[in-house]
Structure 1
């Protein structure tokens, strides 16, 4: 008795290996789709063990060659109560699974494609409604193969190619020895030598259909040899071998059960990781935003640092020029400070006048409160001083703007000098 077909761990290991490759040898599929591609192929090989995942080179119509995944094997086709096997190639293109795969009927040398056919063109390319109506992510390979089986059952795409019968065997001479005691003369042998299949069936005594490796009924599209191997003579099996085989089958079932449980656990973990991706993406955006704000703030601080360094250079220069001077030799204490340019001298005068006017107004306020100054004279004095203070402040504002513009120009020339 042949045990039921189960998913081979080699297929899962092969898919995990080829889909995890990086660098020049990596398959051209997007990283977020590789896990789904693996699931589709594992489900396909579990439901249809006759299909095997492989990698091969696919050549596009424009001449480009790319290494892609494919499912190579046969698709079961029920026809008139018998299940046949249609050889197919299912190519997973670069954009899979967002776009449908490319399916080809792969006839052997003893098969020809039916012309015309509703779903298969002369080159073997398959076109069925399931491929045209492919919807991501609900469409999958298992439903595709089932759809292909149904479409092929309604209209088989392949026919067996007829071969010319071999020439009849020459009749043996009467003196030759007859190896088969069932034949008494050469005329009986000649009557069964018109075809190799008839000869093979007669030589074995009975005809027995060969068993397909995928446990399907025999396909009419085989190698075309027509020869059937004779069945081995029945023999009694060794009880030790039977026990060993049963133990191996039990171990295989236990391993597959453990693998199925582990796969479900890993699938749950992978789904959890996928659900974390939006939150991680949001955190990444927030970090990038904060980093940009910090970079802008750092640039602003660097500009302020340049201004402070310029002012430090000015103060250090003033200290070097005035260090060791005696203030007693100066007639006026204000002569100890020398303005570096006209704008600074004008700014100093305007600021001093503004502060002096402010002090005078404060003194007038105190005087009018104690009655030392008449009120009408106080108003005339305040009006005159306020007008003078306004002009001093307006002049100081213009001088400050001119100084700021000069500092910016000086900073730009200094940065250009440092760059050189």
Structure 2
């Protein structure tokens, strides 16, 4: 309630014969109540607003758009002014119609201004709500991007750790695996027939060459000269070929 809400303001004509203008932008012609469309009432806030400021704003608004009709000033006064000015009844009627039209135009302009102000306020509210929604979405997208960056960093660290462990395993295998003796490996096949010996030697050589190629690819991966995807692709091809050569060598014995 008052003073936290704007007070109720009424405007009544002083003369009993006076009447209020219908469709006035600020005053209801039936009750005389001043509408909330008055800028001072619309922007009422404590402690900035006061009754003195309301009166000044009301006087300025009603002076710009008078709430009384021209005919309500009284025929006697009008006749006296006409007599003093020496104007004819036609001129007086013309002036009266001009005043009525001006009042009607002012009333319409006031209504249009009030409607435009209401539309602007609604647009501002809608744009503010949209801006808040966009800001929320932007924050969510920022968090998602940061999470993806952290996940990428974790994956890179995991791949680096896996490569380091693989290098250690390869070094351990080379260190613990005994070197094959060519004489022992070829001895069982020395007595083989002349038709199977060349094929066995060819298959065995291809198998050992595949081993060397896989080792070379492993060193290239450790040195960063080869990507992990390319390494896996080539190792699969070499392992498949090595399997077939090993199978062919076993059939040649």
More strand by share: 1
Provide the TM-score with structure 2 as the length reference.
0.32
Provide the TM-score with structure 1 as the length reference.
0.21
Task: Identify the structure with bigger relative contact order (alpha carbons < 8 Å, sequence gap 6+).
Answer: 2
More helix by share: 2
